[in-house]
Amino acid sequence: MKQLKSWWQSPKQRRQLLTAISGLLILLALAGKYLLNQTNWHNGLMAAAALIAGSDIALRAWYSLRRRHISIELLVTIAAAGALIIGEYWEAAAVTFLFLFGAYLEARTLGQTRRILQGLLELAPTTAIVLRDGRQVEVMPHEVQPGETVLVKPGTKIPVDGDVIDGRSAVDESAITGESIPAEKVAGTAVYAGTVNQAGLLKVKATGVGADTTLARIIRRVEEAQEEKAPTQRFIERFARWYTPFIILLSGAAYLVTRDLELALTLLVIGCPGALVISTPVSIVAGIGRAAKGGILIKGGEYLENAGKISALALDKTGTLTIGQPVVTDVVVLQAAVAAGDNGELSVMEKNEQQALYWAAIAEAGSEHPLAQAIMAAVDADDLIPAADEFETFTGHGVQAVYLGHEIGVGTTGLMADLGIPVPAAAHQALDNLQAEGKTAVIVALDGSVIGVLGIADQLRPTAPEMIRRLQVVGLKKIVMLTGDNARTAQAIAGAAGIQDVRASLLPEDKLKMIRQLQAEGHVVAMVGDGINDAPALATADIGIAMGAAGTDVAIETADIALMTDDLLKIPEALQLSRATLNNIRQNVIIALVTVALLLAGVLLGKVHMAGGMLIHEASVMIVILNGMRLLRT
Amino acid sequence: MKTLLRSQDLSCPSCVAKIENALQGLKGVNDAKVHFNTGRIEVEHDPDTAPTAVLVQTVRETGYEAVVAAF
């Protein structure tokens, strides 16, 4: 009994029960009429079905009316009551049943599009183990203080944003980044709340808790995005606001002119602009939800619609197309050097290369220059790089150092001239070759003679050519690379990526001008960048896309589209999804408008009656929702 | 105080005005906003005159199930 009472009090379950009973009665009535030829039964059962399903509708109509709100339920109640009065029992039963059943199906299906977000909400961790005074204390995740040490056991969710201070593990970050391969975590790497620690024990120093975590920001961002109305939606809602009053007036006018009560009531039945008002939101919720699942955060419906219209894409080079960290790509050995370290089992060739690098690294160890990092990283990890005995920097030219009595010089031809070291023709040849490939070349000299030349370059991300190819498949007409780097380096990178249009040696404000120029040519421009110096260009572009946003809150909050990872292939995916969503919205609006027009015409011409009208109406709503849901599976 | 409710039952945007009207008509409720797309219902209210349970009951009377959510 208690069970029954709680059932009755839940509007959802009560409605399901009423819908089921009403449907059953309709079946019985139909059976009575066609199998047993009992017309009286039929009418009685149909009337009962209409009253049962209609009671819930009438109740809701009454609640709204009490608050001076003319609801769709009121129109349906009037129509059904009118049908019962004029003896159209079947029509009354069908209208009320279909109204309830349709709403049930629609809410259920819409729930699935909203569920992606539900999935994110469920990711939110529920407990955290904190080390306090050397003891493990279990608290709620938001009760952890920033700076405290959190213990994350294998197989559990990481409760806070933070940095690993001890331990090693693989963490499933798919919720945040959309990346299915677990990420390796060691001391010093960042972890995010809501991701799952798969293998080892991690000690994490909390940097963000509760609402101040990447997960919370993503949820907030996705919801705001889904709620923000797209231009199409605003237009449709203006239309819809007038539609219902118009239908009510039309119904009254139709009755006065034709004196046909059934026609007037049928008009009321189709007075809900259901498919129309739902056409845009359903596509947007599905599109933004699907994107979020793939680690793509889109700021809102308006941006989704704009992104669907993009015709030109501007890409920043350093850190976007390239990894953003220079590495040694070439070692040209000109003269075998004295061994400075033990190189074990290497071939003579590799030994000589390692020796040249090793000497260069000793000299560069004291330098802060980015190229120094690249040279040091290129030395075999087993070798410890000793500190030089003497060290001097020649700004813009290179470095000079002394180690165990050996004089080392690493830098340009200018440095060699300063040090009085002759540069052989073979070295000049190597310099020219490397520079022609867009690389930075440095000479390594030992004890007064050149031993080798190193080529250093920022590396193209391996997925860059594939991204460009996919962008072209998506139908992007213009792809431009923007960079502050010199033309030769820029050409080399662009050539490897497959980009024809390159604008090099640009200052940040030049990048902005390039975006404006593309817009002046009539393009809808998207700009992809990461650095702070791209901010003006990102803001000027119609769509600013920020990469690798998982750690940077500013990017999540401000970019029109934020990609959680550095995966370039997410760019064509984001554009393709935007286009698919835009198409989906258009299809839905057309389906809805055509249905409304056909229904109105059908009713006015007397071809569509009450039950049929309601059926077509509810079917069109379902079609629009199902069409929107297709986006979830792309 | 601001309370967040979530409903999975919203099937047609016409319910937005209905639920907003019902909540705003309550004593102690300063503002109510229903987001159809996500099913989020934000209510600004005084918990003494309009406790959370009353908010849920009011939404229920309009015909929709809603639950209180943390965020």
Which range among A13-22, A315-324, B7-16 has the greatest average pLDDT?
Answer: A13-22
Q: What is the model's pLDDT at position A349?
A: 64
Mean pLDDT, residues A342-371: 75
Instruction: Write down the mean pLDDT value for chain A.
Output: 85
SS3 per residue for A63-86? HHHHCCCCCHHHHHHHHHHHHHHC
Lowest mean pLDDT among A52-56, A92-96, A321-325, A620-624: A321-325
Residue A391: what pLDDT?
86
Q: How many helices (H) and strands (E) are present in chain B, helices listed first?
A: 2, 4
Distance (Å) of CA A249 to CA A57, A259, A272, A593, A611: 22, 15, 14, 20, 21
Task: Tell me if residue A128 falls in helix, strand or coil.
Answer: strand
Chosen from B2, B26, B37, B42 to mutate, greatest number of chain A CBs within 10 A: B37
Q: Which among A67, A211, A220 is the nearest to B22, CB-wise? A: A67
Tell me how far the alpha carbon of residue A628 is from its chain's centroid. Answer: 17
> B39 is written with which tokens?
């099913």
pLDDT at A585 over 70: yes
- Mean pLDDT for A480-489 is 85
User: B13 in contact with A at a CB cutoff of 8 Å?
Assistant: yes
- Tell me what percent of the residues of chain A surpass a pLDDT of 70: 92
Among residues A492, A364, A502, A504, which one has the least CA distance to residue A440?
A492
- Give the fold, CATH level 3, of A327-458: Calcium-transporting ATPase, cytoplasmic domain N (3.40.1110)
CB contact under 8 A, A64 and B21: yes
CA angle centred on A48, ends A42 and A51, rounded to 5°: 140
Reported ipTM exceeds the 0.90 cut? no
Of A493, A530, A175, which Cα lies nearest the Cα of A322? A493
Of A489 and A339, which is predicted with more confidence?
A: A489
**Nearest CA to A193 among A179, A178, A173?**
A173
> Under a CB-based contact definition with an 8 Å cutoff, are residues B63 and A18 in contact?
no
Range A490-497 average pLDDT: 89
A565 pLDDT band, cuts 50/70/90, is confident
Average pLDDT score over residue span A183-197? 88
Q: What is the pLDDT of residue A253?
A: 92
Mean pLDDT score, A249-258: 90
Question: What three-state secondary structure class fits B38?
Answer: coil
Does domain A123-219 fall into CATH 2.70.150.10? yes
Q: Do residues A584 and A623 make contact, with C-beta atoms less than 8 angstroms apart?
A: no
- Quick one: DSSP state of residue A143? G
Cα distance between residue A266 and residue A367, in whole Å: 84
For residue A588, what pLDDT band results from cuts at 50, 70 and 90? very high
Task: Write down the pLDDT at residue A345.
Answer: 53
- B40 — contact with chain A (CB < 8 Å)? yes
Q: What is the mean pLDDT of residues A470-495?
A: 88
Shortest distance, CA B27 to any CA of chain A (angstroms): 14
Say how many domains are in chain B.
Answer: 1
Instruction: Identify whether the C-beta of residue A575 lies closer than 8 Å to the C-beta of residue A474.
Output: yes
Q: Is residue A343's pLDDT more than 70?
A: no
The tens digit of pLDDT for each residue in A145-177 reads 999 999 998 888 898 999 999 988 888 887 777
Least confident of A31-35, A324-328, A337-341, A612-616: A337-341
The per-residue pLDDT for A260 is 87
Pairing relationship of beta strands A478-482 and A561-563 according to DSSP bridges: unpaired
Q: What is A288-323+460-575's CATH topology? A: Rossmann fold (3.40.50)
Q: What is the pLDDT of residues A402-456, one digit of tens each?
A: 988 889 999 888 889 888 899 999 999 999 898 888 888 899 999 988 999 999 8
Express each pLDDT in A42-69 by its tens digit: 888 999 999 999 998 998 888 878 877 7
- Which of A108-117, A243-252, B12-21, B56-65 is predicted least confidently? A108-117
Domain assignment of residue B54, given as a range: 2-69
Query: In the 8-state DSSP scheme, what is residue A534?
Result: G
Distance CA A539, CA A562 (A): 13
pLDDT surpasses 80 at A381: no
Give the residue with greater pLDDT, A56 vs A142. A56
Please tell me which of the candidates B8, B25, B36 has its beta carbon nearest to residue A67. Answer: B25
Q: Which residues of B touch A226 (CB under 8 A)?
A: 35, 37-38
Pairing mode of beta strands A128-132, A135-139: antiparallel
pLDDT (0 to 100) of residue A459: 86
Instruction: Find the mean pLDDT for residues A82-111.
Output: 88
A118 pLDDT higher than 80? no
Per the CB < 8 A criterion, the answer to whether A107 and A621 are in contact is: no
Please state the rounded mean pLDDT for residues A111-133.
Answer: 75
Give yes or no for residue A557 having a pLDDT over 70. Answer: no
Could you give the residue ranges of the DSSP H alpha helices within A126-273?
A: 174-177, 214-227, 231-258, 261-269
Q: Which two tokens stand for residue A49?
A: 């079905």
- Phi first, then psi: what are they for A475, rounded to 5°? 105, 20
- Find where tokens 């560069």 sit: A364
Q: Between chains, do B14 and A103 touch, taking CB under 8 Å as contact? A: no
CA distance A25 to A6: 24
Region A499-510: what's the mean pLDDT?
A: 86
Q: Which pair of structure tokens corresponds to residue A604?
A: 């006015």
Burial of A41 (0-12, 13-18, 19+ CB in 10 A): middle
3-class secondary-structure state, position A260 = coil
Quote the tokens at residue A315. 């890409």
Q: Is the pLDDT of residue A298 over 90?
A: no
Q: pLDDT higher for A534 or A505?
A: A505
Q: B19 touching A, CB under 8 A?
A: no
Q: Give the per-residue pLDDT at A73.
A: 85
Q: If you search the block for the tokens 């945007």, which residue do you land on?
A: B13
* pLDDT classification of A572: cutoffs 50, 70, 90: very high
A contacts of B67 (beta carbons < 8 Å): none
Instruction: Look up residue A141 and give its two tokens.
Output: 């995740």
The CATH code of the domain that includes B61 is 3.30.70.100
Largest distance between two CA atoms of chain B = 32
**Residue whose pair of structure tokens reads 């990609």 in the numeric block:** A563
Q: What pLDDT sits at residue A348?
A: 64
**Does residue A316 have an active-site annotation?**
yes
Rounded to the nearest 5 degrees, what angle is found at the Cα of A173, between the Cα atoms of A169 and A174? 140
Asked if pLDDT for residue A31 goes beyond 60, the answer is yes
* pLDDT average, residue stretch B49-54: 90
Distance CA A610, CA A532 (A): 62
Split at pLDDT 50, 70, 90, the class of A117 is low
Question: Percent of chain A having pLDDT more than 90?
Answer: 23
Tell me the residue type at A506.
Answer: L
Phi, psi of A398 (to 5 degrees): 150, -155
